[in-house]
Amino acid sequence: MIHHAIKQVLQNPQLLPTIKEQLPAICKEHFFTSEELLETLASGWVSEASQEIENKRVTLDKWAAFMELKHAFKITKPELERRLAQTAVVTELVRAITSGQSPGEVEATLAEIKSILLSGHWREALIEGWETTVETFLSDKLINAREEERLLAYARYFGLADEELDRNGAFTRVVKSIVLRELCEGKIPQRVQIEGKLPFNFQKNEKIIWVFKNVQYYEDRKRRQYVGGHSGFSIRIAKGVYYRVGAFKGHPVDTVERVYLGAGMLVVTDRHLYFKSEQKAFRIRLDKIIMIEPYSDGVAIQRDAQTALPQTFITGDGWFTYNLLVNIPHAVK
């Protein structure tokens, strides 16, 4: 009964006065003391609030309704109140960015919540809202130019640093999406900022498109062994040395094994792949790659050479690596 009444108020806050009038009758019917009634109300409030937070359904109106109930029934749950407020900020920020509302208007709308949150909690909610919006934009497509502008505008307005926005990789996912979008538009992306000097001798006017770090490198290598046949009779040649007459009558069987050859840096340009680890360093022309096989965490490529075997790069993001390599030829004139 109590939980049902709380749900009614959350759906329609105007019912609160009516519910308060019914409480004495509810206490009498269920033999509640006033203390027991408050405990039951608090329990119902906590249950509903926790469920709404988990499902990320706390709109500004719903947050206001929760606060009305809190004050009306003298409920004190500071930690849950904070989480409700932060979830409301996240929900409102996603709505505002996706709809194109200006950051200033959103800040004004959220002024009441901002006033009750500590600055760290407010900033945490802003970052989470930005991250959630990124996931919304990327759910079925690449981020378009208008969405890029909106995300950038909110980050700048609220002073959110790239490092903060990339705490869970959201900023990097945005940049990756923009890189792929520009390639599909026939442009060579220039989104990578290089700090220091890279250990490669790039060609004149060669453009760096992406840099992968800590890439695990594997090579497929062919092994040959002889199976079958008969060992034959042994003829002693010298002390301790025997020659088996029939030892070479078996047939050769080739097997391929994947060999790990260290981790290092993989640089993708508009012309080549460059790789360097402690064990290996090489360059591969993109126009000599005849096969690209995607994996969840990397790709395998094969060069256009008679004896070439697959070379595998584990970058951590197979989807992006594959689409990067496949789309570069469309942008290179």
Q: Which of 114-123, 201-210, 221-230 has the lowest mean pLDDT?
A: 221-230
Choose between 208 and 192: higher pLDDT. Answer: 208
Which one-letter DSSP state was computed for residue 6? Answer: H
CA dihedral 276, 277, 282, 287 (to 10 degrees): -60
pTM for the full predicted model? 0.80
Residue with tokens 């060579």: 188
Q: Identify the three-state secondary structure at position 200.
A: coil
List, in order, residues 6 or more apart from 105 with CB less than 8 Å away: 96
Each residue's pLDDT tens digit, 240-287? 555 555 554 555 666 778 899 999 999 999 999 999 999 899 999 999
Residue with tokens 């290996």: 280
12, amino acid identity: N
Each residue's pLDDT tens digit, 4-46? 665 655 565 555 566 566 666 666 666 566 566 567 777 778 8
Q: What's the mean pLDDT when you consider all of the chain? A: 85
Q: What is the mean pLDDT of residues 48-74?
A: 87
Each residue's pLDDT tens digit, 150-179? 999 999 999 999 999 999 999 999 999 999
* Backbone φ and ψ of 292, nearest 5°: -130, 120
pLDDT at 48: 84
Look at the domain 208-224+254-331 and name its fold: PH-domain like (2.30.29)
Question: In this structure, what token pair is assigned to residue 40?
Answer: 């039951």
* Backbone φ and ψ of 236, nearest 5°: -75, 125
Q: Where are the domains of the chain?
A: 2-76, 98-184, 208-224+254-331
pLDDT at 222: 77
Give residue 160's Cα distance to chain centre. 18
Rounded percentage of the chain residues whose pLDDT exceeds 90: 60
Asked whether the beta carbons of 181 and 142 are under 8 A apart, the reply is yes
How wide is the angle at C-alpha 292 spanned by C-alphas 286 and 293, nearest 5°?
160
N-terminal to C-terminal alpha carbon distance within the chain: 71
Of 156, 128, 137, which Cα lies nearest the Cα of 98?
137
Asked whether the beta carbons of 291 and 172 are under 8 A apart, the reply is no
Give residue 25's Cα distance to chain centre. 53
Q: Which of 47-51, 72-76, 104-108, 294-298 has the lowest mean pLDDT?
A: 72-76
292 in the Ramachandran plot: left (φ > 0), alpha (ψ -120 to 50) or beta?
beta
Quick one: pLDDT band at residue 68, thresholds 50, 70, 90?
confident
Asked whether the beta carbons of 282 and 262 are under 8 A apart, the reply is no
